[in-house]
Structure 1
Amino acid sequence: MNKWSESDIPAQNDRIAVVTGANTGLGFETARALAAHGASVVLAVRDVEKGKQAAARIADVAPGARVSVQQLDLTSLESISTAAKELHATHPKIDLLINNAGVMHTPHQTTKDGFELQFGTNHLGHFALTGRLLDMMLPTPGSRVVTVSSNGHRIRAAIHFDDLQWERSYSRIEAYGQAKLANLMFTYELQRRLARNGETIAAAAHPGGANTDLMRNLPAPLRFLTPIVVPLITQSAAMGALPTLRAATDPGVLGGQYYGPEGLFQNQGHPRLVASSPQSHDLETQQRLWTVSEELTGVSFPV
């Protein structure tokens, strides 16, 4: 069986891709690869100056790449609304929306709208962004929403409807698990709705153990072991981006599929179709999460 790699990405000419968190790590590698294969890529980032630097780095390695920068702060519903309006004004369509940006294992903090930071950024921010951009995708043949989850969706993970914002107690690991589980549940429920509304599909991916800036918030005991353990259980950001790239570009991808590394415990290796946890497929929880997410963000979907 062939090992899927960047060279398997089909030509992306005339396609417009929006990648969140594209100034570093997985998002940067995803944007770079898409631009190198002809896509017009929007780096949707919180820090515009860092976004411009990332765009310049992409231009250096992919001469002729079409890359622009869009300010987007996923911790602010106002910023998400503004970014969506600006993307509507500057682009005729969106072929690919890559919901990549995220935070991991942060100390207890809240977003500008009062949401717990990991849930608010990783799930609610992308939920709101997708809802505000989906009308640019539905008429576009072959368009895809790809949301990046994590193996963390299996670790002490549940949707805590009785305390979604972790106001009574806080575990950074459990909060991350909730957010990454929510990413998958959002993908599966979105796909069910899209299936009745044309060709747009929703898929998910995870990078395995990718050595990126997210590692900076690991708990202290794990940070101490990082120089020893990380090389054994992680892979480069470029390899970690491959599952996302496959979910976004492989012609054989179907809506509702999940891609991750092929290796032991899905930590390393080339991307393949993988399974998510049984609870991620709980239909009642998916639908309840969707309803709550609409209420919290004030964003409803055109599907």
Structure 2
Amino acid sequence: MSDTWTEQHIPDQHGRVAIVTGANTGLGFETARMLAERGAAVVLAVRDVEKGEQATARITGDVTVQALDLTSLDSIRSAAADLRATHHRIDLLINNAGVMYTPRQTTADGFELQLGTNHLGHFALTGLLLDRLLPVPGSRVVTVSSTGHRIRAAIHFDDLQWERSYSRVGAYGQSKLANLMFTYELQRRLAPLGTTIATAAHPGLSRTDLLRNTPAVLRTPVTWIAPLLGQTAEMGALPTLRAATDPAVVGGQYYGPGDRREVKGHPKPVSSSPDSHDQVAQQRLWTVSEELTGVTYPALTPQPEPS
């Protein structure tokens, strides 16, 4: 595989349908733009429809907007019903939307905001749309994680919603670790079917408004470092796009920027933390996620418990 994979390596996407969450700005916008310019029919699944419509005006191609609030299971179910009615097939589901380092808040359903948005919302959306992907050879679910999955990160099954104490950084790390554990467990369950794969990606240090909630103690260093060491949203979107479109990608791979620290550079396969590969924890998280969201994946047979 090329060490300098760029936008020009994205294969022709005509005839394919791609849904990108959080696509009205930043990484999601660039992901949607590049897919549309390669011919995909792209759905911007966004909370703010007006901003989504403004984003479509800046993209050349077949682009539509779907209202989706990942902090509300009612909104997720409504969006999934709309998408199922409009699209009989889905080739790409890109779980991109996310929040980072937010103050302690809860979703409409009482979930800690970062876990609820970054993981549980996407878990529910994927489950509700999966039967539109499974019949499509080469279809993919791509979930955007972060190097933050290594930072103070664990799945706190004894206090998943951070009700006893709260850490912005720890809660973010938990949600991004959950993204990877979901991807690996989803891939294991998809593998016997042979049509759809699950992959993950992270953007490195990209200059987007996701940094707006950085804690005060970190804000000044980040403000200086991001412009110097980080990369544009266009470059930050490339790992996601490679995970979504490169014919050489296999299920369960994780893509990130190619420099030594995975901060910037052209996308390549990268590794994730040992915790992310804990199959017992992956399966436990899957079960808890089903219980919390009420969304199950009946088409997928759970694989045997690891010994």
Please indicate the TM-score interval, normalised by the length of the shorter structure.
Answer: over 0.9
Aligned to 1:180: 176
Instruction: Report the secondary structure of 1:127's partner residue.
Output: helix
Shift of 1:198: 2.7
Aligned to 1:285: 281
Q: For residues 152-163 of structure 1, what are the structure 2 equivalents within 5 Å?
A: 152-163=148-159
Shift of 1:89: 0.7
Q: For residues 1-303 of structure 1, what are the structure 2 equivalents within 5 Å?
A: 2-58=3-59, 62=60, 65-301=61-297, 302-303=299-300
* Gap runs ≥5 in structure 2: 301-307
Shift of 1:229: 1.6
Shift of 1:232: 2.5
1:275/1:226 CA distance change after superposition, 3 Å: closer
1:189 is matched by which residue type in structure 2? E
TM-score for the superposition, normalised by structure 1: 0.97
TM-score for the superposition, normalised by structure 2: 0.96
Percent identity (aligned)? 72
1:252 is matched by which residue type in structure 2? A
* Displaced runs of 4 or more, over 2 A: 224-227
2:113 is matched by which residue type in structure 1? L
2:162 is matched by which residue type in structure 1? W
Shift of 1:92: 1.6
Higher mean C-alpha deviation, range 190-199 or range 291-300? 190-199
Q: CA RMSD in A?
A: 0.8
Instruction: Report the secondary structure of 1:57's partner residue.
Output: coil
Instruction: Report the secondary structure of 2:261's partner residue.
Output: helix
2:255·2:270 contact (CA, 8 Å) conserved in 1? yes
Instruction: Report the secondary structure of 1:104's partner residue.
Output: coil
2:93·2:142 contact (CA, 8 Å) conserved in 1? yes
User: 2:275 & 2:3 partners in 1: Cα distance?
Assistant: 31
Aligned to 2:305: none
Instruction: Report the secondary structure of 1:265's partner residue.
Output: coil
Instruction: Report the secondary structure of 1:43's partner residue.
Output: strand
Shift of 1:225: 2.8
Instruction: Report the secondary structure of 1:13's partner residue.
Output: coil
User: 2:34 & 2:215 partners in 1: Cα distance?
Assistant: 32
Instruction: Report the secondary structure of 1:175's partner residue.
Output: helix
* Gap runs ≥5 in structure 1: none
User: 2:120 & 2:71 partners in 1: Cα distance?
Assistant: 9
Shift of 1:2: 4.1
Question: 1:100-124 deviations in whole A, cap 9, x for unaligned?
Answer: 0000000000000000000000000
2:289 is matched by which residue type in structure 1? S
Instruction: Report the secondary structure of 1:266's partner residue.
Output: coil
